[in-house]
Structure 1
Amino acid sequence: MLIGAIVIFLLSPKYSGEQELSNLKDKVEVYYDSYGIPHIYAQEEEDAYRSLGYVHAQDRLWQMELLRRIAEGKLSQMFGEELVDTDKFFLSLGIDDASQKTVDQLDFNAPMVKLAQAYLDGVNQFLKEGPTPVEFYLTGIEKRPFTIKDIHNTMGYMAFSFAMAHKTDPLLTNIKNKLGQEYLRDLEIDVDSSTTFIKNFKPSSKDRLNNQMATRVHEVLNKLPLPLFEGSNSWVIGTQKTKNGKVILANDPHIGFAQPSVWYEAHLSTPNYEKYGYHMAGIPFPLLGHDRKLAYGITMFENDDIDFYYEEENPSDPTTYKTPNGWEKYEEVTKTIPIKNGEDISFSYKKTAHGPILNGIIEEVNGEQPIAMSWIYTKMENKVMEALYGITHAQNLFEFQEALPKIHAPGLNLMYGDAAGNIAWFASAQLYKMPDGTHTKFILDGSSGKDEPLEYLDFSENPMAINPPWNYVYSANNQPDSIAGMLYPGYYLPENRAKRIVKLLEPKNDWTKDDVEAMLLDGVSDVNAEIVTDLAKLMDVSQLDKSEIMALDKISAWKGENEIDSIAPTIYHRWIYALLKNTFEDELGPEMFQQLLSTHLHKRMIAPMAKKENSIWFDDIHTTDTVENKTNRVNHAFKMALKSLEADFGPNKKKWTWGKVHTLEHEHPIGKMKALRSFFNVGPFPIGATREVINNMAFRYNETGKYPVTSGPSTRRVIDFSDVENSTSILPTGQSGNPFSKHYKDQAKMFNKGEFRKMMMNKEEIIRTKKSLLTIKPKQ
């Protein structure tokens, strides 16, 4: 017991006492509140960021280490050869090379760079002098200093984000080649003109302020020990729709659940700068933040910024490929991957003018027609860090908007509200026009030049809404309205969340902070209830027994709620999975069907397929003497769903509760080891809500009928400018990533219950209620 207590003491973060930092100009006071959130008070901004780096590292150094390793291909050095394919994949994306190019062009006297370096100095001093996180001992990894290149590599990983192009485009190309064009009609790959659009509004100037490839990509991303960005909700309510006549901003970025959780909260205050922000590990500037003047949040834009191209290799000279200007030499790239407990692995790949050739990076796809990847993130000058600096230092709407054109990728929806009453939504990304007839969700022709971008759009043409007359803005990763004469292609989520958000926002004109908090927790799916109505019409009751009729009656009366003790959502999702499997797997085969389930496509298809009377997919190609129709599929799927539920939980329907199949566990990479699971992981917990509701608790359909949650709100934030110092938030687990810290999981139960806590900004209150004080002094 004594030895254990000593170990915990030695490896725990230091939240009180004194600490010396090099290059500090003056004393810094760090007040920790009840949830371990640092409130950093300094006289100089560089001192504040240097102190932030130190306290961030003592809570999240392991997470920083993981994040920077993804782009540089060094996960295998930590976890062994199982991650080699993942390392190859990310090295081939070119993030690491692009980061080096960016760093080579930096002005190290620029304010952004100076603050970033101050932050890194703090990180590196903790790395050198602080206790080594337990994960370093367990993996045998040696500590090494962090650099500005690491910051850009972490940003590059975020830019890669949801990876839908890699999952979707090869799959759709395979379906077209294998089954034919007619099988694409019902896959909802184009924009639905009847969907719920995010509406644009720009005030006048006077008012303005291949199958194996798809399979292997799916596999390497599943092995990634860190979460991908998935989606998000955000809305900003204007002064005419709030009870107190002040702007309210809400945001809950949807990211894969993991432990540690994604965000690290920190409040920085100097005489000339203040920000309460949410930081990614290893990035100095907060991606989400607010102060007394303004607040901002993000969702994923989901725009299409990756294009794949078939290249034509010269049959007489395999070192060249065809271009509109003749044969050009491939660029040869060689990389080395260090392997834990093994020999380093070197591999080479080719690059064309479009980008890296993905064939050969993974052994199984070697020898196919070359496929190159063109990604806007690595093709253009990277000024994303400058944009973040500009956003975090903006004093008003004009300065905020001025920073956004520097974000070329990842595509983000920036949500904005301020104390002066302005609200805005900006789709920030470098958009471009393709030739008419070019469909970017298929692999394009790389040799002819006919599928190249025609022009890059100016930021002024991007989707946006500034102080619209309907007095709110929102984003739920859904399709934005037309800009520059087109509906911009992307991997947008279905309208489910957007439709619900608009339904709730539109009629109400007296919103309060409490109302907005409740809305963030809304778990009702109007769309799912409508789907049941459409499917129930096709049920042949004469073919159902008494128990099946009772189940049909139960789900037919369902209003789309998804509480832990509900029965209807359990039946619904078993029914939908069975319907998808019966409808698509016979044509696609098991492998491609699983690929389909890993994309946003299948989410977009469910509601339209429930309404369609006919589809080529409804026929079972394995039966030669009959042609199945939608009625056959729906009835058969319903019976399959009930049979599987009885097999799992017995005939008593009261035991078919949603919380038994829908659970949330925050997994640490090392928690995958059974012996260490209870120490590192948080959960599992039964959890309500479901996927594609506002309180989006997403999961993947699978054969087991169990739905462990994979992603959801990485935080819930509400900033109310009528009382900004009582704005609220929550994290899914806790502020610290150190399992010996009392703040490792102290918010988990609150998060599951839908509770919020204050984001304190009042210095007097912070000092009065502090749990500890860490005084940071210049090193003598």
Structure 2
Amino acid sequence: MITLLRWLTRLVGAGIAVLVVAGSLFYWMASRSIPDYEADWTVPGIDGEIEIVRNTAAVPHIFALTDHDAYYGLGFSHAQDRLWQMLLMRRQAQGRLSEVFGRRTLEIDDLMRRLDLDGHATRSLDAFSEESRGILQAYADGVNAWLRLVGSEALGRGAPELFLFEPEIAPWRPNDSVLISFLMALELATHHENEILRARASLALPEPGRIADLMPDAPGTGAAELGDFASLLELPRTLFAEATGSTGPRDALHPNWQGLNRGGASNVWAATPARSAAGGALMASDPHQSLSAPTLWYLARLELATGGVIGATIPGTPGILNGRSERLSWGITASYLDDIDLYIEEVNPENPTQYRTPDGWAEFETRREIIEIADEAPVTITLRETVNGPVIPGAHWNAGTVTPAGHVMTMRWTALSDENTTIQTGLRLMRARTIEEALEAGEDFVAPSANLMLASEDGRIAMQVVGHMPWRLIEHETQARMPSRGWVEGNRWQGITQYFANPTFIDPERGILGNTNNKMVDRDFPLHVSFHWGDTQRITRLGRLMEAREVHTRDSFIGAQLDTVSPAARNLLPLVARDLWFTGQPAAIGTTERMRQRALELLADWNGEMNEHLPEPLIFAAWMRALQHRLVRDDIGPLAEEFWTVEPVFLERVFRDIDGASVWCDVRPSSVIETCTEMAQLSLDAALQELSETYGDDIESWRWGAAHEALHEHPVLGETRLFSWIVNIRQATSGGDFTLNRAATPGTGPEPYVNIHGAGYRGVYDFADPDSSVFIIATGQSGHPLSRHYDDMGELWRRGEYVPMTLDPELARAANLGITVLRPQSN
């Protein structure tokens, strides 16, 4: 027995030793790809010495003799810190994921091939100016310089993920950067999915007219100028004053998903010197996207011939999309301009190679492509296209659910162009000196349409909708709200409207411009911009905060950016709970009635702040989610699974009985007529039961942050048990779906309240003291999980803190992490 124990001990010890040795070896190999920020390299293709100064936040400040070398240095820095991210995005846009990850990514590859993003990007390069093509080439040369060093210096393959997946790494090309912009456009697009969902809902509803409740138009006439909130809401000023008091706003310190309004989102606003305490223009920008590790954004500063520029870049592209120069600041939000149409195309029953047109049958343009699949035989797909765009199989975006037999669906989208020069706008903004030059640069922007906000050192501000607007005819059958018949001439695009037709707002009289993806104008179709907007709630809170004080500061803009008060909670609770508050009978501890009464007591005293330490946000979120689902499920059946995400305007229409919308409260199969109060109570009880099963029966101990952790998930390794605990980042967070500090939830799945969509970047710029400007990203600069800069900004971001955003070279060099020097090779 003793001998057996000895051998078991030896075997266990040997096993542990093997694991330790293997782990140490893997760590050593993986850590080889952590870049040395103090290295001195000799590289080809540069005009002179390049200095890349990493400040204390690991933000590269790139100094070079020429603009060519500055962009070369940016490409080099991106590749050093985010190589895997860049390669993955390129491979996804090319439709070549399955070569590495197997069949599980085949559907993604199929879609990318049908949209031909790589082909459009390659052909678009000819539409760029010679100067822009030179910048793209310089950037690509910088990326490739790092790739060569990885090979020649044995730098751990450049990223630890490449030890697990060994794809061949092709050199970076200028059109690869253009391709990344196409991928970003696709990830921000929502109108095609909205068209399909609206069509499905209209088919499922017993009364199709009730689609106006379920998927409502944004109310109001639209807003961009935010100087007078009372007028904005058409409320008497006395009521506004009573609601806000005189203390001013309170400074709160604080991979792809499904559902409504889950594409592009952002906040951006600006103030003229007349509304600034320090006498300079102010601007705040925080673009929202799906949270990931690392985040999409990468901070950088470049010294160009026209001066320094600093802000947020996307690895793989050379432009600063949100940031500032010495003269201008700029930021973007998704405009929600309707730049996509879906068409139902009739296939010739006598000849399936043809489709109907206004002039008779025409041949599909057809080609075949081969998709390579790891460890499997390749798959050949047939791609078809009409004059309305590529054919989209029914498996994508649930298109098959609204495509009749004998027909196919096609997609017309402004981004699918061989002259898509969107990325050129960013390159021109970095060198623009005036508002006029910046607005002119917006003409190169194609898709996705965006609101470009500008502020200048001379105190001017402007907002311009950029991106191509389809020229539709007034007789369009569905007004692009749902798929339409492709063979009807009145449904087809007549081209693109001219740039001057896009909404523009310059130097507003009241001194403040802002956008939260809200409805900004109310123009008649077809110049209407959109029927489908990304926000109806945040804009009301922004307007209130902007009007609550006469002048603003950098800190008041930061306070607004981090604000966690939910206007949806403040609007909905008085409606939904009005017949439930203070009306219950005495009930024993542990009963459903007692728990309901305690929840209502907490909500009655709550100010709508979605604070991570409070139970009220969790109760509110669960209640509204359960209520909406209960209201719609008897009307639309299984389609209700698509409507877990709360739509405040729908609930408001129901409980205000707008146009008879209270009919949603009646359960159709039942013999009695249920009231909205009954639905509210049943939904609250269901929500409380769900929460008690997860968090216990003590309501006061519940915490929003326990359910509302920000999930920054690695796009590949984050799903594995072995590596997820290393590569994923989870943090308890405040905010919610409708707060300015946006922290949106999926509404469904095993974690319906987890935070998966928010501000990956925040920046606040003050031209009264430009070097007091600040910015932050959600994770860290490095994409290497073993680097201390993988998540070092994450806790700052969670707490609502920032790092300095200075163009002062001496401040960048002070206490820097290291200076990388790139020297030209001698001839």
Aligned residue among 474, 495, 498 for 1:435: 474
Residue number in structure 2 paired with 1:611:
656
Aligned residue among 125, 131, 140 for 1:111: 131
Distance apart, 1:54 and its partner CA: 1.0
TM-score (norm 1): 0.92
Deviates more, 1:695-704 or 1:707-716: 695-704
Residues 1:244 and 2:278 are matched in the alignment: yes
Match of 2:775, as an amino acid?
A: S
Aligned residue among 499, 522, 538 for 2:540: 499
Match of 2:482, as an amino acid?
A: F
Structure 1 368/137 Cα, relative in aligned 2: closer, same or farther at 3 Å?
Answer: farther
Q: Distance in 2 between matches of 1:19 and 1:80?
A: 37
Residues 1:570 and 2:623 are matched in the alignment: no
Structure 1 164/360 Cα, relative in aligned 2: closer, same or farther at 3 Å?
Answer: closer
Kept in 2, the 8 Å contact 1:234–1:251? The answer is yes
Aligned residues: 752
Structure 1 552/662 Cα, relative in aligned 2: closer, same or farther at 3 Å?
Answer: same
Question: What is the identity percentage for the equivalent residue pairs of Structure 1 and Structure 2?
Answer: 26
Q: Distance in 1 between matches of 2:372 and 2:256?
A: 19
**Structure 2 alignment gaps of length 5 or more:** 1-20, 228-254, 586-591
Structure 1 361/703 Cα, relative in aligned 2: closer, same or farther at 3 Å?
Answer: closer
Residue number in structure 1 paired with 2:720:
673
Aligned residue among 679, 697, 700 for 2:746: 700
Structure 1 312/472 Cα, relative in aligned 2: closer, same or farther at 3 Å?
Answer: same
Deviations 1:432-451 (A, max 9, x none): 34424532121111112121
Q: Give the 3-state SS of the residue equivalent to 1:151 in structure 2.
A: helix
Deviations 1:125-153 (A, max 9, x none): 21122221111121222211111221121
TM-score (norm 2): 0.87
Structure 1 141/222 Cα, relative in aligned 2: closer, same or farther at 3 Å?
Answer: farther
Residue number in structure 2 paired with 1:205:
none
Aligned residue among 541, 551, 554 for 2:599: 551
Kept in 1, the 8 Å contact 2:284–2:557? The answer is yes
Task: Provide the aligned C-alpha RMSD in A.
Answer: 2.5
Residue number in structure 2 paired with 1:346:
380
Structure 1 516/444 Cα, relative in aligned 2: closer, same or farther at 3 Å?
Answer: same
Residues 1:295 and 2:329 are matched in the alignment: yes
Match of 2:542, as an amino acid?
A: I
Residue number in structure 2 paired with 1:18:
40
Deviations 1:639-694 (A, max 9, x none): 11122222222221112211121111211121210110122112x22111111210
Aligned residue among 501, 512, 517 for 2:553: 512
Q: Distance in 1 between matches of 2:748 and 2:386?
A: 38
Q: Give the 3-state SS of the residue equivalent to 2:743 in structure 1.
A: coil
Q: Distance in 1 between matches of 2:399 and 2:270?
A: 48
Aligned residue among 136, 141, 150 for 1:121: 141
Residues 1:197 and 2:223 are matched in the alignment: yes
Matches within 5 A, 1:83-232: 83-104=105-126, 110-130=130-150, 131=155, 132=157, 133-179=159-205, 180-193=207-220, 197-199=223-225, 230-232=264-266
Match of 2:212, as an amino acid?
A: R
Kept in 2, the 8 Å contact 1:348–1:361? The answer is no
Matches within 5 A, 1:611-760: 611-612=656-657, 614-615=660-661, 616-623=663-670, 625-668=671-714, 669-682=716-729, 684-702=730-748, 704=750, 706-760=752-806
Kept in 1, the 8 Å contact 2:276–2:551? The answer is yes
Kept in 1, the 8 Å contact 2:366–2:383? The answer is yes
Residue number in structure 1 paired with 2:241:
none
Residue number in structure 1 paired with 2:627:
579
Kept in 2, the 8 Å contact 1:262–1:714? The answer is yes
Kept in 2, the 8 Å contact 1:538–1:635? The answer is no
Kept in 2, the 8 Å contact 1:434–1:455? The answer is no
Residues 1:7 and 2:7 are matched in the alignment: no
Residue number in structure 2 paired with 1:217:
none
Q: Distance in 2 between matches of 1:3 and 1:317?
A: 62
Q: Give the 3-state SS of the residue equivalent to 1:113 in structure 2.
A: helix
Residue number in structure 2 paired with 1:771:
817
Q: Distance in 2 between matches of 1:435 and 1:379?
A: 24
Structure 1 483/380 Cα, relative in aligned 2: closer, same or farther at 3 Å?
Answer: farther
Q: Give the 3-state SS of the residue equivalent to 1:335 in structure 2.
A: strand
Q: Distance in 1 between matches of 2:102 and 2:649?
A: 37
Distance apart, 1:368 and its partner CA: 5.6
Deviates more, 1:429-438 or 1:7-16: 429-438
Q: Distance in 1 between matches of 2:67 and 2:223?
A: 41
Distance apart, 1:703 and its partner CA: 6.1
Q: Distance in 2 between matches of 1:618 and 1:349?
A: 46
Q: Distance in 2 between matches of 1:200 and 1:654?
A: 38
Structure 1 396/14 Cα, relative in aligned 2: closer, same or farther at 3 Å?
Answer: same
Structure 1 83/356 Cα, relative in aligned 2: closer, same or farther at 3 Å?
Answer: same
Matches within 5 A, 1:377-456: 377-379=415-417, 381-431=419-469, 432-436=471-475, 438-453=478-493, 456=496
Structure 1 368/176 Cα, relative in aligned 2: closer, same or farther at 3 Å?
Answer: farther
Match of 2:336, as an amino acid?
A: E
Kept in 1, the 8 Å contact 2:217–2:532? The answer is no
Kept in 1, the 8 Å contact 2:196–2:399? The answer is no
Q: Distance in 1 between matches of 2:258 and 2:624?
A: 27
Aligned residue among 293, 302, 305 for 1:259: 293
Deviations 1:158-201 (A, max 9, x none): 1113332232211211222233422313124434236x522499
Structure 1 364/453 Cα, relative in aligned 2: closer, same or farther at 3 Å?
Answer: closer
Structure 1 483/545 Cα, relative in aligned 2: closer, same or farther at 3 Å?
Answer: closer
Residues 1:487 and 2:528 are matched in the alignment: yes
Residue number in structure 1 paired with 2:237:
none
Structure 1 364/420 Cα, relative in aligned 2: closer, same or farther at 3 Å?
Answer: closer
Q: Distance in 2 between matches of 1:200 and 1:433?
A: 31
Deviations 1:481-520 (A, max 9, x none): 1357853224312321101111111232231112211211
Kept in 2, the 8 Å contact 1:20–1:779? The answer is yes
Residue number in structure 1 paired with 2:15:
none
Q: Distance in 2 between matches of 1:277 and 1:175?
A: 42
Kept in 1, the 8 Å contact 2:226–2:513? The answer is no
Matches within 5 A, 1:31-46: 31-46=53-68
Match of 1:663, as an amino acid?
A: E
Residue number in structure 1 paired with 2:641:
594
Q: Distance in 2 between matches of 1:285 and 1:719?
A: 18
Q: Distance in 2 between matches of 1:584 and 1:249?
A: 41
Residue number in structure 2 paired with 1:282:
316
Residues 1:47 and 2:73 are matched in the alignment: no
Q: Which has the larger radius of gyration?
A: 2
Q: Distance in 2 between matches of 1:556 and 1:649?
A: 22
Kept in 2, the 8 Å contact 1:618–1:628? The answer is yes
Q: Give the 3-state SS of the residue equivalent to 1:468 in structure 2.
A: coil
